[in-house]
């Protein structure tokens, strides 16, 4: 039988100029810029520009792009209706996937059967995902829909639409920075999905909707949800050691520690930890911070003793940051989508620049040719 790489592991599926990850050095770079610098000094809107255009905007382009994106935030009545009638027990990722595909129908002058696209002009997908998530949360909880506010940054406006009150300046900055940190990560499963769909020259909406479907899967999104489930289970700082001993005895993984790619420290986790400390001190609620830091310390100590150094990844602290910003756990994966959409769009545009339809081979291992039986139903 012919050999092949399951899950296309290690197989090069295309070229890209968008993102570089150096796991050994703990580097993540968007268009060459280190993620720590971007997350600290560049807004999500400018980061989106960088991803979509390949270079940082000048002052004029930045203002123009920001205005376009802020003008595109408001939801139409039919989308609000879809949100209102979305079945109670369902997951918001199903709603996002559906809404983005539906939104495609509202875009004028889109060129969906050619190599170019006006999504850098309309920016609906990037602009409206936060609005959909916030509206979903509020309507689901019997609260009124809060229209967007153009004076606010992407991150701050999301918190405002979600909570119904203005966030502090620092909260807005932290949210925006968290979005920057999750905006891009090379050919992960959802980004690859977006490129595969784009390769048939489908619309960017179809491609992004499909990527959301991929991110919904438990093997992709949801890591920070599981960290918080673990934190809730641990409950107190004092319970960290007994919990950890029991977990390690059962060969259970500590969620959010270690990373498939980063062998050194995930460059995003330092900043996330800083945000968690700030928000914990501001709120006077140190519980999450104390549990996580103790868990990090104790896990690293035990793993170093075994000669297996391990570090927290971005998901280790991000769930607690989101909770302290007033975001319920069910929205963590939708928030991942609302940041990653910028990277997805960049990849869709890049795919179109030098496209070839993704059409790999299957290795057939089924029954030999045979005739139908005579006793058909």
Q: Residues with catalytic annotation?
A: 259, 315
Asked if 217 interacts with a second copy (CB under 8 A), we say: yes
Taking Cα atoms as reference points, which of 308, 323, 242 lies closest to residue 276? Answer: 323
Asked if 199 interacts with a second copy (CB under 8 A), we say: yes
Q: How open is the CA angle 253-210-359, to the nearest 5 degrees?
A: 100
Nearer to a second copy, 110 or 138 (CB): 110
Residues 276-295 that bind a second copy (CB under 8 A): none
Smallest gap from Cβ 284 to a second copy, in A, equals: 34
Rounded to whole angstroms, the Cα distance separating 228 from 60 reads: 41
Residues 58-117 that bind a second copy (CB under 8 A): 58-59, 61-63, 78, 81-82, 85-87, 89-91, 93-95, 97-99, 101-102, 104-106, 112-113
Taking Cα atoms as reference points, which of 232, 214, 163, 191 lies closest to residue 333? Answer: 214
Smallest gap from Cβ 348 to a second copy, in A, equals: 11
Instruction: Report the Cα 160 to chain-centroid distance in Å.
Output: 20
Asked if 56 interacts with a second copy (CB under 8 A), we say: yes
Nearer to a second copy, 256 or 343 (CB): 343
Rounded to whole angstroms, the Cα distance separating 102 from 266 reads: 36
Smallest gap from Cβ 157 to a second copy, in A, equals: 19
Question: End-to-end distance of the chain based on CA atoms, in angstroms?
Answer: 35
**Binding piece for a second copy, criterion CB under 8 A, among 135-143, 212-220, 251-259, 295-303:** 212-220
Residues 299-338 that bind a second copy (CB under 8 A): none
**Binding piece for a second copy, criterion CB under 8 A, among 207-215, 237-245, 251-259, 278-286:** 207-215
Smallest gap from Cβ 119 to a second copy, in A, equals: 14
Instruction: Report the Cα 95 to chain-centroid distance in Å.
Output: 16
Smallest gap from Cβ 354 to a second copy, in A, equals: 8
Asked if 196 interacts with a second copy (CB under 8 A), we say: yes
Reduced to 3 states (helix: H, G, I; strand: E, B; else coil), residue 220 is: coil
CA–CA distances in Å: residue 259 to residues 280, 288, 294, 298: 25, 21, 19, 18
Q: Count the neighbouring beta carbons within 10 Å of the beta carbon of residue 294.
A: 18
């Amino acid at each position: 039988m012919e050999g092949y790489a399951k899950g296309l592991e290690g197989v090069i599926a295309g070229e890209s100029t968008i993102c570089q990850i150096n796991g050994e050095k703990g580097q993540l770079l968007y268009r060459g810029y280190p993620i720590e610098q971007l997350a600290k000094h560049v807004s999500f809107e400018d980061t989106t520009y960088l991803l979509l255009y390949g270079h940082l905007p000048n002052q004029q382009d930045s203002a123009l792009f920001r205005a376009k994106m802020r003008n595109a935030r408001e939801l139409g009545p039919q989308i609000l209706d879809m949100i209102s009638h979305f079945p109670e027990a369902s997951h918001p990722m199903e709603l996002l996937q559906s809404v983005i595909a539906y939104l495609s129908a509202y875009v004028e002058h889109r060129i969906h059967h050619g190599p170019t696209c006006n999504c850098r002009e309309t920016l609906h997908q990037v602009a409206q995902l936060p609005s959909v998530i916030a509206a979903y949360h509020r309507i689901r909880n019997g609260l009124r829909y809060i229209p967007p506010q153009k004076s606010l940054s992407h991150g701050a406006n999301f918190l405002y639409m979600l909570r119904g009150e203005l966030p502090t300046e620092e909260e807005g900055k932290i949210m925006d920075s968290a979005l920057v940190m999750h905006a891009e990560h090379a050919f992960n499963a959802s980004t690859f999905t977006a490129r595969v769909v784009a390769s048939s020259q489908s619309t960017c909406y179809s491609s992004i909707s499909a990527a959301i479907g991929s991110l919904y899967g438990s093997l992709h999104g949801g890591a920070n949800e599981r960290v918080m489930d673990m934190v809730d289970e641990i409950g107190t700082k004092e319970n960290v050691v007994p919990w950890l001993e029991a977990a390690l005895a059962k060969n259970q993984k500590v969620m959010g520690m270690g990373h498939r790619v980063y062998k050194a420290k995930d460059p995003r986790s330092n900043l996330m930890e800083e945000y968690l400390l700030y928000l914990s001190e501001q709120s006077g609620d140190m519980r999450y911070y104390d549990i996580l830091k103790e868990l990090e310390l104790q896990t690293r100590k035990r793993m170093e003793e075994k000669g297996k150094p391990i570090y927290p990844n971005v998901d280790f602290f991000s769930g607690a940051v989101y909770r302290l910003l007033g975001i319920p756990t069910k929205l963590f994966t939708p928030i991942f989508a609302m940041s990653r959409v910028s990277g997805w769009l960049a990849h869709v545009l890049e795919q179109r620049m030098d496209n070839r339809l993704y059409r790999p081979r299957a290795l057939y291992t089924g029954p030999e040719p045979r005739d139908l039986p005579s006793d058909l139903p």
